[in-house]
Structure formats: C-alpha cells, structure tokens
Amino acid sequence: MTLHNSIIRQSNPHLPFGDRQDGTYYGKNILSVKQFNRADLTFIFEVAHEMEEMVRRVGTFDLLKGKILTNLFYEPSTRTSSSFTAAMERLGGSVIPINDVRYSSVSKGESLPDTIRTLECYSDVIVIRHPETGSAALAAKYARKPIINAGDGTGEHPTQALLDLFTILEELGHVDGLTITMLGDLKYGRTVHSLARLLTLYNVRLNYVSPEILPMPAEVIEEVNAKNISQTVTTDLAKVLPETDVLYVTRVQKERFEDPEVYEKVKGSYVITPELMTRAKDDMIVMHPLPRVGEISMEFDSDPRAAYFRQMEYGLYVRMALLALVLGKA
C-alpha cells in the first residue's frame, strides 16, 4: 500500500505562530521524489546553494530562530538524524530528538496518527524515519504541521535523492548531458531507485552496473524508459567507466549471494581503487550514500574526484533549504 495519493499540496489553514505564506512550499510535506517537477528542483537547489554560501560565510544564522523540529526516528539512523539536527541548529532553530522510540511508551500500542498529533503540539515541523512504507504519508494525512520523510522502509528517502542531485549540480555545474553510472546492488538500493526517477527530469544517460542477481528493477527501468532516457544494463564496469561523468557506488551485501565464491568475484571487480580510476575521466566524480564497507578503497579518498564526503555536506544544505521552505522562511 502506498499512500502517496494523500500527499497532495496542503493549504494548512491552521499553521501556527504568525507565519506568513511566503511561497508555494510553505506548510507542505516532503514525502516523495514524485512530488517535484524540474522547476521545483531548480528553486530548491537555488535555496540550498544560498544556504551553502551562508554557512561558509557565517556558519549559523537565525532564519528559523524560535522554530522547533521534532526528529522522530523509529529506527536508528545517526547520519540522517544528525544531518537534520545540524540543519535546524545552523538555522538557529531547536530540536526535540526522539531516537529511542523502540523503547518508549509512544511505541507501545499507540497509533502513528496519535503520536504525530501529540508531537505536533510541541513542534513546528516533524522529520520522520519509520521502517514501514507509506508511514510518512500516513503521518502527513493526520498532521497539521509539515512532515518530512527521512526514509520509510523500502519506500522513499526523498531528501537523500535531492542531496544526490544537488551534489551533481554543485560539483559539475549542470545535470543535462551527463552520463551517470550506478554501481553495486541496484536491486535493493532505495537510493538509486529514487535518484534514477529524479534524473528523468533531466536529459541524461544512465548506466546500470551490477551483479546479475542484483539488477535495477524492471519497473524502474520502464518508468525511466517512458521518459525517453537512454539506459544501459551491464555487469562490466570497465566498459562504461571511461564515458562516466558520475559514478554512483552502492554497497553489495554478502548476504545477497548464495554462493560465496560468486560474491568474492563480484566484490573484487566493483572495488573503486586509484588504479581502476586511471581509466576514468579527470573531471568526473565518485559518489556514495555511505556508509561504505570496502566498495571504495580509502586510498582513493584523497583524489579530487572523490565527492562522497562533500556529498554529506551538500546534504546539510539541502535539508536546511527544505526546512526553511516548509516553514515559510526561505
């Protein structure tokens, strides 16, 4: 069950605390990459770029002073949780951290709608991470305050996809015309599914490089194909590496393989090393949603094309932009 139908741009007449309706994002939820068109992305990334410049210049500023974010994590994700906390604090706002939902009375039998309607009494915006697909949309259905989906099961993780795209834009200056190669476990990786969908808004070429048992799912390929995006499927990274502008690496988990020998063979061929990367362009970038566990050699970290830690920083700016937008302050 997906509940994305209920996402629809809200008007939120009850939004509190003297805010003015500054733009089309005020009071909205961020639930799915499907809710954005290209103009949306352009605007969000402009705001994110402004955030980047402000952070570099002054570190922190009081755009959201007095605003409170509830960071509601039903499963642990230190990386995403910390990123949202930092985003809110760099904007001068405060955070109610709820990381221990598994142990808490909130989780004991209480429905998600009830939890959300309680927490929105205390805060101005709620970021939710939940193991069940559709839970962010369910939360949004009942909330009067904006909901930001920080990952709901195998469903969506829209802020990750947005930060991935913003990284490409900031690093390479444009998206149209690029060849983007996705590498690793393309079957289970929520990240690459969302990114592929979002990239259909641009004029790009996509390569999918994975072990045969971990291919990009057919429904993603069909969806992308319907937008006339060129797609190439292969198991051989060497073949597409020279033409690649963006190499998006994901982790291949040993547990996916029945035969450990197949895993070992596959794993080796997909490890990014300085030597392998001599065959890639000089002005391309390597991305990874992190954490990595060996897919990219640490020896490659000092290469200017290694963009994966900068990617974390771009995530901060995108989340600052989203918080400011839905609170009507950007």
The answer to whether the CB of 99 falls within 8 A of the CB of 72 is: no
Question: In this structure, what DSSP letter does residue 184 have?
Answer: S
Q: What is the DSSP string of 36-91?
A: --HHHHHHHHHHHHHHHHHHHHHS---TTTT-EEEEEESS--HHHHHHHHHHHHHT
Give whichever of 113 and 177 is closer to a second copy, judged by the CB atom: 113
CB of residue 106 to a second copy, shortest distance in Å: 4
Among residues 61, 177, 176, 78, which one has the least CA distance to residue 129?
A: 78
Give whichever of 220 and 272 is closer to a second copy, judged by the CB atom: 272
Distances (CA, A) of 279 to 72, 113, 177: 44, 52, 20
CB of residue 237 to a second copy, shortest distance in Å: 22
How far apart are alpha carbons 223 and 220 in whole angstroms?
Answer: 5
Give whichever of 66 and 177 is closer to a second copy, judged by the CB atom: 66
Peptide bond into 304 cis (omega under 30): no
CB of residue 284 to a second copy, shortest distance in Å: 21
CB of residue 321 to a second copy, shortest distance in Å: 15
208 forms bridges with which residues in the sheet? 182, 233
Footprint of a second copy on this chain (CB under 8 A)? 16-18, 55-61, 65-68, 70, 76-79, 82-83, 85-86, 89-90, 94, 96-101, 103-106, 108-111, 113-115, 117-119, 121-124, 290-293, 298, 309, 312-313, 315-316
Give whichever of 34 and 305 is closer to a second copy, judged by the CB atom: 305
Give whichever of 185 and 245 is closer to a second copy, judged by the CB atom: 185
CB of residue 28 to a second copy, shortest distance in Å: 19
